[in-house]
Structure 1
């Protein structure tokens, strides 16, 4: 054990996906500012993402750069899930566990500054036995909300199956979660369905299950959330999280340079986008973006484009990756001086905080959700995959800061007329309740992270627990 006067040394293990790693780096910055010494595991292809954190905390944060484990089922050079086809994700999670041995060897070579705790992403459940071998507790970092974390753990804990003959509408109940929510089978995580339906190799599937079950053996969860957003799921320990303690410390992203600004080189400068938005009345523009990994099919893009034209709402549509826009749409929008199409990365945080932006059409990825919450912008929920259906339910039914834009799902195109009506309702009187609630929730989020706020105090308590080790 380290002497009592030593600075506690914590090992952080992120999952190399933008939506997972960036909030863990934000948490790392908060921990470093409170006097902890940190080592962050990375691989050569992901090391550049650490540069801002290392520059901000050169004396307290160090990288541990290890080769990404090769796997015969993964393309050579793949070290991040960015632009990674979904079929590779289960194997990617499985392959990453091979970092166990080199991390253990490194940890045992640190007698001057021994590790006192491991904080790792919930896709890195293999760090639970790793921490046990080092002889320290492991804390699970969840980049999702508490509800979005409890649902998949419930599935792997109970091994729910869809009965033979039932279609994708089969309802899956979650009786141990407050409110007893239910989701259709089509809304269930792809990773869980890949395991339970035998769509991946047995070794890969068992790795997915064991990762989740190991999380339930940890010391507790650190979650990027706060009580005003998820209070009913924080009031008491959840069975589906192993009855473990949850430190709710979010939103962890700083107001400036938040996750939306760090995902890549912006295709449009914040100043240029702001200047374009300046021409529109307050709250009149709909900002449309589905994150860095969701790509609309031509049918989905066509329905969205038609809905935007039929509703006549001003908009900014961010098209990422290989996304398509119907031929002629961009020119018509520009000619009408009513819409902007951004191809590539956009300064999302700056856009959401512009007075002209009144709504955010989103896939409901948790980072995007928190950026909108912090900005006080209500959402039009169009979930695609992963935890997004759970997040959409939370936003619409629990928090009241969103309207459903589309039932969602990868490849599912909405009815253009129905989507146009949703857009028109949102900017009209029917959207007033969600707009007001979004402003209230933004104020709650700001209070939570200030000195004396719930997230600030939970973070302080977490650091104190680390310092006792």
Structure 2
């Protein structure tokens, strides 16, 4: 009976982007494996698109998204809409307050773990006596660079200056009390500077983060103290509340099985057939996640760069991207390179022994998955906090960023080719290949992951 009483009911509520929903789902699975009851709050179409789980392991709670003018009828995730329309998705998401309140009142979970977007959850839960945890898929250096809740909410103070222009974000802020290169490059912050100002939803993205952190009981962060100790210390100081690592949420299990439906199995077998013919560690895997979409100029330079590198490559390039490959490119690289234009099983590809490196946007999940399989990193950040993650990986000699123009972010095919060859095969780039092997334990060690999760759950039981 005591064992049963020790189990918790935990609700999770992610933002409607697959780069957020998937880490939340990984966390939900790990919590459920500990024997706790888990409710996963999300919209119906997104729940249907998430990876299938064993029956009854997690209770999926359907929250129909309210209609908002400017948002297409079936749009329920950022992948469904152009960038400028995401503000309407946030407005619709804020319309879920009543549904979430009703769920909390009727289900009375011990804890709700929420994302950056629903900054309004903690005050509702607290009134009902439910504990709250802000869960950041953004790494601790991103949060540390962005600053304390007061700064994020735009409240000026004697101790902290408010940043008002893009240039302010290109240098480390004064509250960081140790040497670091962590800052946005001008073109990176320029691309996302609108997130610092209120949009059609009525508040800015950074305000959401600040308010969500300010009102929670505990901050949980995707990350590892062994990897970023100084950043966790900084956050505890500027948040003045518990800040706990939740682990890297590296996917578990054997990625080379042929699970999934018949179509997915057939797709993988085609890919595997090509990968099996390549030399061990020779292939560059090229993919930029589901959210980051390279523009036409970027696709062109990447293509010519891959061609000039003379390395074998497997490029996942979604057909939905409004960009065409250079004329004759696929014919010229036939046999040496593959351009795959539909869904691809990233984990299985990264797990294949012929893959040696990953040309990536520095998205959190992609980095974790690459490092789990000891794949060298060639970095090309495109949006969000990917530039910050890139700085950290460069500081630790775990990845090499493709050289770019500081003002507009443009890059050349020569820069792509040289970066690929340096990291993949040249003697001067050996450090990158060795470092990812050294650090992979921090990203793929499930025992370490278990210890972080146990510490987080124990904290909840004791406070």
TM-score, length of structure 2 as denominator length = 0.87
Distance, in Å, in 2 between the alignment partners of 1:65 and 1:240 is: 36
Distance, in Å, in 1 between the alignment partners of 2:329 and 2:308 is: 12
Cα distance per residue 1:256-283 (max 9 Å; x no partner): 469xx99xx7597333222212222222
Structure 1 residues without counterparts, runs of 5 or longer:
none
CA positional deviation for 1:21 = 0.5
**1:118-137 paired onto structure 2 within 5 Å:** 118-137=112-131
Q: What residue is the counterpart of 1:156 in the other structure?
A: 152
SS of 2:5's partner is coil
Distance, in Å, in 1 between the alignment partners of 2:346 and 2:303 is: 20
**1:29-108 paired onto structure 2 within 5 Å:** 29-49=29-49, 52-53=52-53, 55-56=54-55, 58=56, 61-108=58-105
Residue among 301, 309, 312 paired with 1:311: 309
Q: Is the 8 A contact 1:303 1:413 kept in 2?
A: no
Q: What residue is the counterpart of 2:331 in the other structure?
A: 331
Cα distance per residue 1:370-427 (max 9 Å; x no partner): 0011011111110001010001111111x31100114389984411222222222222
Q: Is the 8 A contact 1:396 1:402 kept in 2?
A: yes
Distance, in Å, in 1 between the alignment partners of 2:405 and 2:135 is: 27
CA positional deviation for 1:315 = 0.9
Distance, in Å, in 1 between the alignment partners of 2:185 and 2:387 is: 10
CA positional deviation for 1:92 = 1.9
Change (3 A) 1:280 1:30: same
Q: What residue is the counterpart of 1:272 in the other structure?
A: 270
Q: What residue is the counterpart of 2:221 in the other structure?
A: 223
Q: What residue is the counterpart of 2:187 in the other structure?
A: 186
Q: What residue is the counterpart of 2:158 in the other structure?
A: none
Pair 1:143-2:137 in alignment: yes
Q: What residue is the counterpart of 2:420 in the other structure?
A: 423
Pair 1:109-2:103 in alignment: no
Deviates more, 1:149-158 or 1:215-224: 149-158
SS of 2:40's partner is strand
SS of 1:367's partner is helix
CA positional deviation for 1:107 = 2.2
**1:156-175 paired onto structure 2 within 5 Å:** 156-157=152-153, 160-163=162-165, 171-175=170-174
Distance, in Å, in 1 between the alignment partners of 2:230 and 2:450 is: 19
Pair 1:21-2:21 in alignment: yes
SS of 1:437's partner is helix
Q: Is the 8 A contact 1:90 1:208 kept in 2?
A: no
Pair 1:414-2:411 in alignment: yes
SS of 1:93's partner is helix
Distance, in Å, in 1 between the alignment partners of 2:220 and 2:306 is: 39
TM-score, length of structure 1 as denominator length = 0.86
Q: What residue is the counterpart of 2:247 in the other structure?
A: 249
Structure 2 residues without counterparts, runs of 5 or longer:
156-161
Q: What residue is the counterpart of 2:159 in the other structure?
A: none
Distance, in Å, in 1 between the alignment partners of 2:363 and 2:266 is: 22
Change (3 A) 1:389 1:229: same
Distance, in Å, in 2 between the alignment partners of 1:135 and 1:281 is: 58
Q: Is the 8 A contact 2:144 2:235 kept in 1?
A: no
Change (3 A) 1:343 1:411: farther
Distance, in Å, in 2 between the alignment partners of 1:268 and 1:384 is: 32
Q: What residue is the counterpart of 2:341 in the other structure?
A: 343
Cα distance per residue 1:128-165 (max 9 Å; x no partner): 112122222211112222113333455625674345xx
Deviates more, 1:240-249 or 1:31-40: 240-249
Change (3 A) 1:278 1:207: closer
Change (3 A) 1:18 1:206: closer
Change (3 A) 1:276 1:436: same
Q: Is the 8 A contact 2:67 2:73 kept in 1?
A: yes
Distance, in Å, in 2 between the alignment partners of 1:351 and 1:176 is: 41
